Amino acid sequence: MVATIEKMAVIPVAGYDSMLLNQAGAHEPFFTRNIVVMHDSEGVEGVGEVPGGEVITKRLESCIPLVEGASIAQWKNVVLSCRKMLENQMRGASGSGGQETAHAQIFKKVTNVLTGVETPMLDILGKHLEVPVAALLGEGQVRDSVRFLGYLFYIGDYRKTDMPYLHDDDTSDEWGRVRREPALTPDAIVHEAEAAQKRFGFHDFKLKGGVFAGSEEMEAVRALKARFPDARITIDPNGCWTLRESLELCRDMVGTLTYVEDPCGAEGRFSGREVMAEFHRLTGLPTATNMIDTDWREMKAAIRLDSVTIPLADPHFWTMEGSVRVAQLCHDLDLTWGVHSNNHFDISLAMVAQAAAAAPGVINACDTHYIWQDGQHLGRVAPHFEDGCLQVPRDGAGLGIDLDHDKLAAAHRLYVDNGCGTRDDARGMRFYIPGWSYDASLPAMVRP
């Protein structure tokens, strides 16, 4: 008798964040996620984690009637049914108007919801079969160790705000201290990288740009390369530089920048894919993106134009199976697969590690925000990085997360007690620049 899903629950949760700066503003004191918990007829539990926000919560809840009562063996058909239902819901829906951040646009995709259905079912199936989720994806598990990079941010001064940012919560080492303190100079970024490397063992680093003028951020990149000469280093300004500025900043950075993530975007009548193709051709630098190839139609165009060499196929935005399918495509076309990240708990970290363990060929070190949330895990056992890597044992079962329901309840209370919803990065920036509003063409700290 094949087990069936008896219960699906959607729990919106929150965790603490630092005042991390990005092109869309400053992270709020709390980040939000949606945790999906399923139980089958044999009492086996499966979990998944996707981006936060009430829209995704409600869409996940609308999937419950299609999930409950379904056979675990029918997980693909269940996901397909949810996709059709959600696409019908969204057909004809109007936009919100005004400028939206790239992430806000991606969060509207139904794949965020589908991943929240797919992952707990895969977790349960893996537990029944006594294999890791990686073994159920693509051609199966191809690696036991998954490499991650150190994701570095400029950090605002929370003391300039009246917002309840977490501080003095971890004095166990230098990383615990510096991740809550202001970091606004190249020296501070290097110190941040040193502290992260000491705790987690990272070999590669990514700097979130789009905060200061590009020339200033390049000084931080040069300082990182001088301190870590063997590291693969990149910068991500979220497409806010013009093509001309991108060329001026990056043309002479071959050997310093290993690749560049979304240096520029759409200009006039030219799409972001066309502009990125020009940048790639004129600089010779490999390009990564999570902005211009976020679905299969965009991916086809990006590949035809030679816009991107490292597609960042976040399993939350592609589904886990879709993310590995991108990896298979990259392997066949001599591209490099990578993963985008947003603030997340350890369930998402496990999802990324499992997808990466099933990704064939050469893969980039995976992005993760988890280092900024380290210590807030929802599983009973904290993730452990060794030499910048996470292990995915072949004798594991499911995702490898043993959910702590007390911690989950506490994260839900934090969400409710603080009235959390969709993150508003503009709010914190207004303490620095009164009246600040998002502009897709300008770094956060640069205003006319």
**CA–CA separation, 320 and 314 (whole Å):** 8
Rounded to 10 degrees, what is the CA torsion of 340, 343, 349, 353? 10
Does the annotation count 84 as an active-site position?
no
User: Scanning the structure block, which residue is given the tokens 């399993």?
Assistant: 315
**CA–CA separation, 141 and 357 (whole Å):** 6
Q: In what order do the strands lie in the sheet with 260-261?
A: 260-261, 287-289, 310-311
Cα-to-chain-centroid distance, residue 3: 32
Find out whether 397 and 135 touch, Cβ atoms under 8 Å: no
Beta bridge partners of 257: 254
**CA–CA separation, 134 and 352 (whole Å):** 10
Pairing of strands 233-236, 45-51: unpaired
Pairing of strands 145-147, 45-51: unpaired
**CA–CA separation, 83 and 404 (whole Å):** 30
Q: Is 173 exposed, middle or buried (0-12, 13-18, 19+ CB in 10 A)?
A: exposed
Beta bridge partners of 205: 150, 233
Q: Taking the alpha carbons of 115, 119, 121, 126 in that order, is the dihedral positive or negative?
A: positive
Does the annotation count 369 as an active-site position?
no
Find out whether 180 and 427 touch, Cβ atoms under 8 Å: no
**CA–CA separation, 147 and 145 (whole Å):** 7
Active-site pick, 331, 340, 344, 369: 340
Active-site pick, 27, 39, 127, 208: 208
Please identify every residue annotated as catalytic: 208, 340
